Amino acid sequence: MELLDSPIRKYAWGSRSAIAALQGRPSPAAEPEAELWMGAHPASPSRLAVSGTSLVDAIAADPEGLLGASGVARFGPRLPFLLKVLAAAQPLSLQAHPTLAQAREAHAAGHPSYVDAWHKPEMLVALTDFDALCGFRDPAVTAADLAALDVAGLEETVGALRQQDKAAALHDAVRGLLGKPDSRLVDEVVAACAARGGAYSLAPELAEQYPGDAGVIVAMLLNRVRLRPGEAVWMPAGNLHAYLRGVGVEIMAASDNVLRGGLTPKHVDVDELLRVLRFEVLDDPVTRPVDLGPGLVTWPVPVEDFTLHRAVLDPADAGTTAVRLPGGGPRIVLCVRGAVRIDDGVVPVTLAAGEAAFAPASRGALAVSGEGEVFQAATP
């Protein structure tokens, strides 16, 4: 295994304290730190700490050695997943991601909203209490909530949401709000929500950062999810979602294809967003961990690009009992608490909180010992 030197992406919505505290650096940081990227994404690849070689270049020099012959056959000479620590102090944009077929077709056609030919299903596991929007609510429930605001400009949206066909109801409501955005309507809705408070608090909260943005109303069509540490949200292709606040470990297919739906100063491609969205009700957005044995859990996902496991080492067993991490192929292990030893049978490494290491496909199963908490990203 080799220690990784991984980049931090600095976006305005990031936290000045979360990633710095995780890594044991002085806090607050000089700038907002939004995401710690661990992987071989060309935009911000990790580097092998000893040689300084980027993981992209290391893979290009020996794809089968690092990824395995079966990995190259399945995904090409590329690491198919990207692991992140995400620290949101402010809301991110409403967004969705395409299927693999949609991404390949649109990228080949030169569509400006697609930067690569890959899909981007993703999952976030909360490290702290985490606030997010994920998937559509029942449109009839949303229609009742919006109608109760008694805002004349919402009549068209409420009418759309009251259609019996739920997919058509959601499609037409989103199309109506984003197709002809009306900042005055947003202001009226925010004022009405502020007057009611309670369950209507979302719109005023979002409008503080994105005044007049139609995404403020679209967000009211979604499930608001408050995760406890260890709980997750799973975002397959077509799922409209947004992170609002909190710190989590995020794993995704290694792509940067994003179709935005609001809460952003960036371009919103309404037509393409409507084409990729899945207009279906998501009754329970929360994905809960599945126990695999003492100290070991996973969150099953229906994709081939990645798996995620978490091992927690009990202080009482420190140095005496190891947890064996499942899976093969290329792997990245991140320590989020304590200090642990990762043994791959060849070159073990010790990780402190905020540090990560890469294991090539040629290494066997990884055994974790010590005291702390680690996440392993791998392929199934």
Q: Are residues 282 and 189 in the same domain?
A: no
Asked if residue 122 belongs to a known ligand binding site, the reply is yes
Residue 208 sits in the same domain as residue 275: no
Within a domain: 185: yes
Enumerate residues 6+ apart whose C-beta is below 8 A from 117: 103, 104, 107, 108
Same domain, 248 and 362: no
**Domain ranges, residue 324:** 291-379
Domain co-membership, 196 together with 345? no
Residue 264 lies inside a defined structural domain of this protein: yes
Tell me: the pLDDT tens digits for 342-357? 999 898 999 999 999 9
The model's pLDDT over 88-127, given as tens digits with 9 standing for 90+, comes to 999 999 999 999 999 999 999 999 999 999 999 999 999 9
Asked whether residue 164 is marked as a ligand-binding residue, the answer is no
Residues recognised as catalytic = 260
342 shares a domain with 271 = no
Of 247, 268, 287, the residue that ends a domain is: 287
Q: Which of the listed residues 270, 287, 304 is the one where a domain comes to its end?
A: 287
Beta bridge partners of 281: 136
Tell me, what CATH number does 97's domain have?
2.60.120.10
276 shares its domain with 343: no
The three-point CA angle 343-21-348 to 5° equals 10
Residues 183 and 309 occupy one common structural domain? no
Q: Is 97 annotated as a binding residue?
A: yes
In a domain, 219, yes or no: no
Q: Please give the average per-residue pLDDT across 9-30, as a whole number.
A: 96
CB 368 within 8 A of CB 323: yes
Q: How many domains does the chain have?
A: 3
Asked whether residue 12 falls in the same domain as residue 128, the answer is: yes
- The response to whether 241 counts as a known ligand-binding position is yes
Q: For residue 319, is pLDDT > 80?
A: no
- Determine the pLDDT at residue 380: 87
Same domain? For 192 and 280 the reply is no
> Mind giving me the DSSP string for 42-107?
TTS--EETTT--BHHHHHHH-HHHHH-HHHHHHH-SS--EEEEEEEESS---EEE---HHHHHHHH
317 confidence band (pLDDT: 50, 70, 90): low
Evaluate whether 67 touches 79 at the Cβ level (below 8 Å): yes
Are 194 and 57 in the same domain? no
Is the separation of the CB atoms in 217 and 157 below 8 Å?
yes
Q: Is 220 inside a domain boundary?
A: no
244 lies in a domain? yes
Helix (H) / strand (E) containing 216: helix 215-218
Token pair recorded at residue 153: 């400009």
146 and 236 co-located in one domain: no
